[in-house]
Structure 1
């Protein structure tokens, strides 16, 4: 069973509601009772993610852990979107996540069941295809080019200040080194992606399993 830290789980709806009402004091605030309906599913999705991340204590959700709360707000907004199609509350949750954690992660995006965020500030994610066991660090960007979005298979790491743009197919086991941009380029998988001295993207075989650092 998932235990919430700093607040009882039955108070989670009131906690989120208060944040939304304080940050967005709209005279025509949308009906927030949808939070009650969708909260259990969102917490169940978060529980699965937390228990797969090696760096986090299993079965514990700390609402003051910014990364865990960032992922929770995404799951809550995405769950509401999928179960009700209601946009107003989802938009408020998206904006709350952006305000608190500096991340641009729209509620319609299908993120994987398990992913890890090192630091959320400056992360921008487009509507692309995301595989499981994704690792994201600050200022990483996934974006479209002329309307074409990339595909990220399972087990991809994006270290700080990286980008995956356009018609790129990033295959499983690709580790994007800090500061590297993959633009309209495929990766072979099980590789370290880095920039050569001439600025071209190069691939090296991975010598160890980076993903053991992050996931159980």
Structure 2
């Protein structure tokens, strides 16, 4: 891990300097912050098996845009947790600039999640669980009822295909797939379901697939 630190540090500083050449202070990102984010990143990757996923962190992981977007989220969130808000904001903006994805550093995404060409996706405030996967143009966000803001909650093993949306007071069970362009608002979904169509004409169907096995490549549920 530490052998990658100089490379990752140089990469982050060069990219961020290109966006914020007058304001950015390289000393704001300390080695300790980078190492924590890299540890989160490495741990996440060990729970994903596939063509582009090796079990040991290497430089190629930082050149794979889907994975790099995950790392930048972990870095921004780590900086935020250390009260380095200005720097966290710049890393958050860097992620948006590079990948057109919105994952705000205050949002607590799970320890194990995966992005697949996530251009245009906004993963907002919600209660997330491990083994969450989002494709392009997905949306997770809030709704308001009687002046109260409500957010979704997700069980383990969630797959959001392109264009799907989960908004508001939605309690989503385990092993749930949202089909392309599926949309729900303030609607609960039981475990082992597939959601298709748009609210209020959406449908909830039985799910014969296993998200953790089929998407994350694990032989069985953790």
User: TM-score if structure 2 supplies the norm length?
Assistant: 0.88
CA distance in 1, matches of 2:108, 2:30: 20
Aligned to 1:116: 114
CA distance in 1, matches of 2:11, 2:208: 45
CA distance in 1, matches of 2:206, 2:152: 22
Unmatched runs of 5 consecutive residues or more in structure 2: none
Aligned to 2:47: 52
* Alignment RMSD (CA, Å): 1.9
Q: How many residues align?
A: 209
How far apart are 1:11 and its partner, in Å? 2.2
Aligned to 2:135: 137
SS at match of 2:204: strand
CA distance in 1, matches of 2:129, 2:105: 17
CA distance in 2, matches of 1:60, 1:86: 26
What is the 5 A alignment of 1:1-216?
A: 8-26=4-22, 28-30=23-25, 32-55=27-50, 56-61=53-58, 62=60, 63-82=62-81, 84-146=82-144, 147-195=149-197, 200-215=201-216, 216=218
User: TM-score if structure 1 supplies the norm length?
Assistant: 0.90
Is the contact between residue 3 and residue 59 of structure 1 (CA under 8 Å) also seen in structure 2?
A: no
Residues 88-134 of structure 1: CA distance to partner in whole angstroms, max 9, x if unpaired? 00000000000000001101110100001011200101111111100
How far apart are 1:179 and its partner, in Å? 0.8
